[in-house]
A = this chain, B = another copy of it.
């Protein structure tokens, strides 16, 4: 297997992008990425997108995006694993390069979610759950994560304040991210008194509906070393896992088994332990998700996610910074783009170009991108060399 490096990153300003279309934002991120890479070599394109079909009536992005990027005829693939589609695009682009099929593979994550009504968007997102046995009966994603939160509070004594602190921390980080949809700080009080969505989760516990795209260019380490315009960043570990799509089929809904497995697989491939990692970008689609994820990854013990967050362990200046980008909470969550944007942030941190939100001693970073209520997960480990 050939060693793979990341030589280009790009993402646009996320938000409600009424004046731009799905194809516009994908192309914009891709061009920013090529500009950053200083090369426009592309042997293949991998697009991460959750549901162009339901959000935009548009499948076949493997034809549309290369076409509008001015790269018609390029071998192209679209991958999907709900909200983990972006991470999966990175992994699939990695396979292109690692196998020798492509020397340069461009991964683009994109989702345009605001062009339909809120009700339609909720229907589209619920396609990541079990349609026949969950969504059909009326449960939506805030409801599924509320059940995880309630069980976590019951089992470990996790508090509303601890959940809220995830939002406070991530919005603080995001306030320094020019790409973020909501680049402003929130207080604990604001989170705790925001509109109730699905008890115990409130509006500021939830990631938003977002239009956005991100792109990353991969090549062999050998090629990357010739470019020299950025510090070398390599993908040293990848872990992919699936689990039951329905929450009710899990042994213990407070433990994200899929995250644990994907994390272990990635660490094993990178020949690392979690103690070797300096920081992480994780899937905080809801505040409870970040708490359960940092526990499943082994950053903290089970049940310690809430207290550790409140104590500042995962803050930008803490022992183990989590979501320096602002996470899905503040940066936004265009579902298919999120996993790619996590890589963009991690590369930026490893290159030491993250400005005010730069983490000291960022040498090894981890990204964790999750589909549905934990039905799939992709973990990547990135290192400067």
On A, residues with C-beta under 8 Å from B are 1, 21, 44-45, 50-54, 56-64, 66-67, 72-82, 88, 91-92, 95-96, 98-101, 123-124, 126-132, 135, 238, 240-246, 249, 257-258, 261, 265, 371-372, 375-376
Q: Kindly list chain B residues whose C-beta atoms are within 8 Å of the C-beta of A88.
A: 62, 77
Most buried by B among A75, A258, A371, A372: A75
Q: Kindly list chain B residues whose C-beta atoms are within 8 Å of the C-beta of A75.
A: 240-242, 265
Q: Kindly list chain B residues whose C-beta atoms are within 8 Å of the C-beta of A243.
A: 63, 67, 72-73
Give the docked Cα–Cα distance between A73 and B265 (Å): 11
| Known contacts A101-B98, A242-B72, A243-B72; A81 and B53 CB within 8 A of each other | no
Chain A contact residues, majority secondary structure: mixed
- Copies of this subunit: 2
Distance from A148 Cβ to chain B, minimum over Cβ atoms (Å):
16
Distance from A190 Cβ to chain B, minimum over Cβ atoms (Å):
33
Give the docked Cα–Cα distance between A95 and B75 (Å): 13
Q: Kindly list chain B residues whose C-beta atoms are within 8 Å of the C-beta of A58.
A: 127, 131-132
Beta-carbon nearest neighbor of A21 in chain B: B132
Q: Kindly list chain B residues whose C-beta atoms are within 8 Å of the C-beta of A52.
A: 127
Q: Kindly list chain B residues whose C-beta atoms are within 8 Å of the C-beta of A92.
A: 77, 79, 92, 95
Q: Kindly list chain B residues whose C-beta atoms are within 8 Å of the C-beta of A21.
A: 132
Beta-carbon nearest neighbor of A136 in chain B: B57
Q: List 9 A-B contacts (CB under 8 A).
A: A54-B57, A60-B81, A63-B81, A63-B244, A66-B242, A73-B257, A75-B242, A77-B81, A99-B100
